[in-house]
């Protein structure tokens, strides 16, 4: 049964129309109300524009060129201005009642920023039955202090506390780290819930952008000074990165030992892997 939350779902698109179609199909399977969806066509050159125009969405924004990550997210958030805004990559597959479970978990646990659990890479398994099993094993669990930008629900109160995403196209996806840094600075509680799950094919838009720009996949798209953007010098940023990695490993070990799996998983060569 669908719960009556005030929310919108914003998804930017830069080409990759086949992944967008899979995303939309999964929304249809979940009986999602399309009037809650806002698509931002961020300068696509394939058939994305034609496909999105056929859908009866709550909002459709078309940018003439790629404005990066922050601009389309802000555009989408302002389009419907709901209590909760759920930002989603267009290369994900959602599962039954994912958004209701996500927001219910946020309200139960007094979180204003929350993410669903995630399985990345290959979709060579039965998503529905796997998620049903994982949800049963980990029911009600929250990994506090962690988040990801693949799919994230943000309460409207956050815009007043930390502001919106940095609207600087040259950041090329670094906007999420700047935003998470601002949340940490303001001591905003965040978390990943085991009551909501998605599949993510894995950085499809960034891979496409790097291919178009002739940039090696292992290299960063970011053109700005990361230390300056995060207001941290090189050493402090490295210390923060090490601490985050160590904490994630500790939490993953606890989850695997307690529940048999983790809230952050990869599917590689037919097996689930949680060694991030």
Residue 92 lies in a domain: yes
End-to-end CA distance of the chain: 35
Q: Residue 34's domain spans which residues?
A: 7-225
Beta carbons within 10 angstroms of residue 218's beta carbon = 6
Beta strands in the chain (DSSP E): 7-13, 37-42, 59-63, 84-88, 92-94, 113-121, 142-144, 151-155, 190-200, 264-268, 271-273
Those residues whose C-beta lies under 8 Å from the C-beta of residue 234, and which sit 6 or more positions away, are 227
> Are the CB atoms for 92 and 201 separated by under 8 Å?
yes
> Are the CB atoms for 44 and 121 separated by under 8 Å?
no
> Are the CB atoms for 193 and 82 separated by under 8 Å?
no
Residue 172 lies in a domain: yes
d(CA 149, CA 3): 24
d(CA 220, CA 34): 35
Residue 75 lies in a domain: yes
Domain count, the chain: 1
**192: its two tokens:** 């990943």
**137: its two tokens:** 């094993």
Residue 157 lies in a domain: yes
Residue 264 lies in a domain: no
3 state DSSP class of 45: coil
Residue 137 lies in a domain: yes
What's the sign of the alpha-carbon dihedral 63, 67, 73, 79? Answer: negative
pTM here? Answer: 0.90
Q: How many helices (H) and strands (E) does the chain have?
A: 10, 11
> Are the CB atoms for 177 and 230 separated by under 8 Å?
yes
Looking at residue 106, the DSSP 8-state letter turns out to be H
Residue 243 lies in a domain: no
Q: Are strands 59-63 and 84-88 parallel, antiparallel or unpaired?
A: unpaired
Residue 270 lies in a domain: no
Identify the CATH number of the domain in which residue 115 sits.
3.90.550.10
Residue 187: left (phi > 0), alpha (psi -120 to 50), or beta?
A: left
> Are the CB atoms for 16 and 90 separated by under 8 Å?
yes
> Each residue's pLDDT tens digit in the chain (276 positions)?
456 899 999 999 999 999 999 999 999 999 999 999 999 999 999 999 999 999 999 999 999 999 989 999 999 999 999 999 999 999 999 999 999 999 999 999 999 999 999 999 999 999 999 999 999 999 999 999 999 999 999 999 999 999 999 998 877 777 888 999 999 999 999 999 999 999 999 866 666 666 665 666 555 555 554 445 545 555 665 766 777 788 889 999 999 999 999 999 999 999 999 865
């Amino acid at each position: 049964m669908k719960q009556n939350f005030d929310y919108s779902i914003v998804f930017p698109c830069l080409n990759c129309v086949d992944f967008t179609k899979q995303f939309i199909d999964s929304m249809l399977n979940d009986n999602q109300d399309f009037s809650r969806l806002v698509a931002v066509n961020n300068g696509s050159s394939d058939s994305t524009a034609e496909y999105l125009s056929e859908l009866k969405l709550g909002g459709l924004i078309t940018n003439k060129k790629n404005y990066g990550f922050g601009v389309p997210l802000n555009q989408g958030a302002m389009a419907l201005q709901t209590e909760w805004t759920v930002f989603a990559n267009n290369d994900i597959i959602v599962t039954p009642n994912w958004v209701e479970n996500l927001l219910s978990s946020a309200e139960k646990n007094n979180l204003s920023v929350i993410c669903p659990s995630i399985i990345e890479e290959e979709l060579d398994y039965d998503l529905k039955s796997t998620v049903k099993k994982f949800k049963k094993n980990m029911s009600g669990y929250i990994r506090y202090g962690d988040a990801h930008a693949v799919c994230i629900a943000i309460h409207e109160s956050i815009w007043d506390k930390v502001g919106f995403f940095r609207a600087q196209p040259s950041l090329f996806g670094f906007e999420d780290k700047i935003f998470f840094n601002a949340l940490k600075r303001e001591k905003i509680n965040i978390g990943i819930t085991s009551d909501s799950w998605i599949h993510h094919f894995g950085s499809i838009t960034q891979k496409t952008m790097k291919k178009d720009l002739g940039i090696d996949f292992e290299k960063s798209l970011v053109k700005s000074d990361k230390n300056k953007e995060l207001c941290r010098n090189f050493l402090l940023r490295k210390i923060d990165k090490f601490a985050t990695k160590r904490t994630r490993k500790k939490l993953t070990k606890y989850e695997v030992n307690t529940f048999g799996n983790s809230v952050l998983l990869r599917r590689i060569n037919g097996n689930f892997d949680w060694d991030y």
